Amino acid sequence: MTMEFVFFQLLNGLSFAGLLFLVASGFTLIFGLMRVVNLAHGGFYLVGGYIGLTIVLATGNIWLAALGGALAVGVLGVLMETSLLRRVRGQELPEVLLTIGVAFMLGDLTLAFWGGDPRAMPLPDYLSGSVDLGFIGYPRFRVLVTLLAVAVGIALWLLMSKTRVGAIVRAGVDDREMIAALGINIRLVFTGLFFFGALLAGLSGVVGAAFLGLVPGESDIEILLFALVVVILGGLGSLPGAAIGSVIVGLIDAFAKALVPELAFFTLFAPMAIVLVLRPEGLLGRRA
Amino acid sequence: MSLTTKVKLGLLATGIAAGVALPYLTSPFIIGIVTLALVFGLFAMSIDVLAGFGGLVTVGQAGIFAVAAYGVGYTATHLDGGHVLQVAVGLAAGIAISVIFAIMAMRTSGVYFLMVTLAQGMIVWGLAYRLAPITGAENGLRGILRPPAVSAYWTYYYLVLAIVALAGGLLWIVTRSPVGLALRGLRDGEDRLRMLGYNTAFHKAYVFVLSGLFATIAGILYVYLNQFISPAASEFATSGHGLLMAILGGTGTLVGPLIGAFVIVFAENMLSTYVERWTTLLGAVFVITILFARGGLVGMLSQAWPRVLARFGHPAASGDAGAGSPPGAALDGTAHATSNPHGITTEDDQRSSR
């Protein structure tokens, strides 16, 4: 193993971790306040990716695609929250089972609309190509994804710890009845947060469409698996947990794919098993 | 013997008689579908043991199902093993993976349990695609022949019928045994059970492996039915279908999942030629069942039954709730925002409500 190989895989791992964080942060945010495990999150990701792709093909503008994909999925999330999840509020299992039903529908409907061929998002020139990092060259887009994830992470952290909205959300995590009794419209907070979490899923779908490509019937499930492992490792509902989990999973995945490609998924299994046996609530999770 | 019990026994006898007579009455095509429905019925029952009785909703059962099937397939295609060895390897593989999964999942509950099982099932799916030397990747494993004695479609049907009936009977006994009681304890108040000195993690692992054993049997029956296995068997969708069968039929009833399996397998084979978006339809059925009919078909029937009795002048059939809780009870459990019925809130309650 040369130094160059190690650095290259390190960067692969960190950039994939960036994408994973974008996906997992929305998932964990929604769970953190609402206790809803949204298994349609992978479907949201796929829909965001396809809408972004459609916009890029129509306008050629990737920023418009990111905006459009994110907003459309945000609206989809609000629709799901208000029309379905609100009816079973507070019942953990029915909530998550509803999201499974929605995941089925989204997976099938994307197949109906966008067809069964794998697609990839074309990137404009200024985002493709490679950037010279001094010792090695590395794809510019992947560097940008890492930076985007760091920026989103910092923004989320500031939002949660420094603003009034963040204070309400954090208080809602601890005691939902109390926050409602203080005169805060917790329903609105729920819907808003669901919008935001779905928005992140849509955005990550647009990023993922360029990063991994879109494979119907596979991308949604695969990204959901990665998001699950990230939050199981890091601790469900914890943003720093999602960040740490993303880095661990990203690095393991990069090195495993390069060294033992046929075991690509199995390498995720071992760390998950260890964490579950020794610390079932996750590295940074609270005891449930 | 109450009227309701008589009706139930009558239905059981009719069901068995119809099952035995079926090959004489209908076409090989229908028998094939019925056999598949029985296999998935057993699979859905294995999910029901955990989800319906224990409130432990698993969405990774297809992982166990597929590992057992691959065990048989690999022995048949790569090791040239006889049928006894094939079944032995299939059973061993299924039980081994159940034990590993159980140890991973035993300290979690509620949605955590669900997520862990989901990730487990998906990892099997990922491996099925990538571990080509063993699984044959997308092409799967072909030419897994049935033993000569059951090579005809109708003899295999009788074998499946017998095994599923036997397994169903065993599961029925298990759910009414002390193990079944402990399961319901896990569902209704895990913290209280723990405070009473039960090792809840051990109980969970035990029932998980038991449920995995039945999923293993279903997987072995499945691979011999199709004489072929591919990664599709381990998909999230397979686990999801099994769960939907259990919920649609009525969780916590055992017979419900079997009914659900028949409804879905028949609908898929009859309708999917006409309905282009079959999976969307299934997703919608999932959503509608959860929103409006959480007790499933059996739940609806058992609600309507007292009214039928009343019409014939019988007092409402009380005390005949079978396992002691209405179908779908598991799905109402683990509500995290409901108040404590006794008005007493322990610290444990508060923690479990988060």
| pLDDT tens readout for residues B80-129 | 888 999 999 999 999 999 999 999 898 888 888 988 898 899 889 888 98
pLDDT of A263 reads 76
Residue type (1 letter), A274: I
With a CB cutoff of 8 Å and minimum separation 6, the contacts of A61 are A55
CB B260, CB B44: distance < 8 Å: yes
Partner-chain residue, chosen from A102, A105, A225, that has the shortest CB–CB distance to B122: A225
Residue position matching structure tokens 């029915």: A94
The pairing of beta strand B141-142 with beta strand A137-139: unpaired
Q: What is the pLDDT of residue B332?
A: 64
Residue A137 DSSP one-character state: E
Q: Are the C-beta atoms of A231 and A2 separated by less than 8 Å?
A: no
In the chain, the amino acid numbered A117 is D
For A62-111, the pLDDT digits (tens) are 999 999 999 999 999 999 999 998 888 878 888 888 999 999 999 999 99
Q: Is the pLDDT of residue B345 over 60?
A: no
Q: Render pLDDT for A250-270 as a digit per residue (tens, 0 to 9).
A: 999 999 888 887 777 778 878
Task: Report the pLDDT value the prediction gives residue B347, as an integer from 0 to 100.
Answer: 39
Interface contact flag, A265 B123, Cβ < 8 Å: yes
ipTM of the predicted assembly exceeds 0.90: no
Interchain contact, A266 vs B352, CB within 8 Å:
no
In degrees and rounded to multiples of 5, residue B309 shows phi and psi of: -60, -45
pLDDT the model gives residue A207: 94
**pLDDT averaged over every residue in chain A:** 88
Residue B42, pLDDT score: 96
Helices A3-34 and A219-234 cross at an angle (nearest 10°) of: 80
The answer to whether B110 contacts A109, with C-beta atoms less than 8 Å apart, is no
Q: How far apart are CA A198 and CA A25, in angstroms?
A: 10
What amino acid occupies position B95? I
Task: Tell me what percent of the residues of chain B surpass a pLDDT of 70.
Answer: 88
Average pLDDT over residues B292-314: 81
pLDDT digits (tens, 9 = 90+) for A187-245: 888 899 899 999 999 999 999 999 999 988 888 888 998 998 999 899 888 889 999 99
What are B169-227's pLDDT values in tens digits? Answer: 999 998 888 888 888 888 888 888 888 888 888 888 999 999 999 999 999 999 999 99
What is d(CA B11, CA B3) in angstroms, rounded to the nearest whole number? 12
Are A87 and B104 within 8 A, CB to CB?
Answer: no
Q: How confident is the model at residue B351 (pLDDT cuts 50, 70, 90)?
A: very low
Interchain CB distance below 8 Å, A224 and B110: no
pLDDT tens digit sequence for B284-294: 999 999 898 88
Nearest by CB: B279 against A100, A108, A288: A108
**Average per-residue pLDDT for chain B:** 84
| Residues sharing a CB contact under 8 Å with residue B209, sequence separation 6 or more, in sequence order | B95, B98, B99, B102
Mean pLDDT score, A270-274: 83
Residue B346 banded pLDDT, cuts 50, 70, 90: very low
- Which one of A38, A93, A275, A277 makes the best mutation probe of the B interface by having the most chain B beta carbons within 10 Å? A93
Q: For A105, which of B59, B247, B283 is closest by C-beta distance?
A: B283
pLDDT tens for B115-160 read 889 889 988 988 898 888 888 888 889 889 899 888 888 899 999 9
The span from the CA of A261 to the CA of B153, in Å, is 40
Per-residue confidence at B1, pLDDT binned at 50, 70, 90?
low
CA dihedral B269, B270, B275, B279 (to 10 degrees): -30
What is chain B's alpha carbon radius of gyration, rounded to the nearest angstrom? Answer: 21
Residues 6+ apart with CB under 8 A from B246: B44, B45, B47, B48, B51, B52, B256, B257, B260, B296
State residue B343's pLDDT score: 33
Find the mean pLDDT for residues A261-285.
Answer: 81
Structure tokens, B280: 């969307």
For testing contact with chain B, the best of A259, A267, A276 (most B CBs within 10 A): A276
Residue B317 in this model has a pLDDT that exceeds 60: no
Per-residue model confidence as pLDDT tens digits over A27-63: 998 888 788 889 999 999 999 999 999 999 999 899 9
From residue B268, alpha-carbon distances to A98, B36, B60 in Å are: 21, 11, 22
- pLDDT the model gives residue B341: 36
For residue B121 the two structure tokens come to: 């099932």
Alpha helix positions (H), chain B: 3-25, 28-48, 54, 61-77, 83-105, 110-130, 132-135, 153-175, 178-195, 200-226, 236-249, 255-271, 278-292, 296-311, 329-332, 347-352
Q: Is the confidence at residue B320, as pLDDT, over 60?
A: no
Asked if residue A115 has pLDDT above 90, the reply is: no
For B3-333, give the CATH class: mainly alpha
Please tell me the predicted confidence (pLDDT) of residue A274: 84
Domains within chain A, CATH numbers bracketed: 3-278 (1.10.3470)
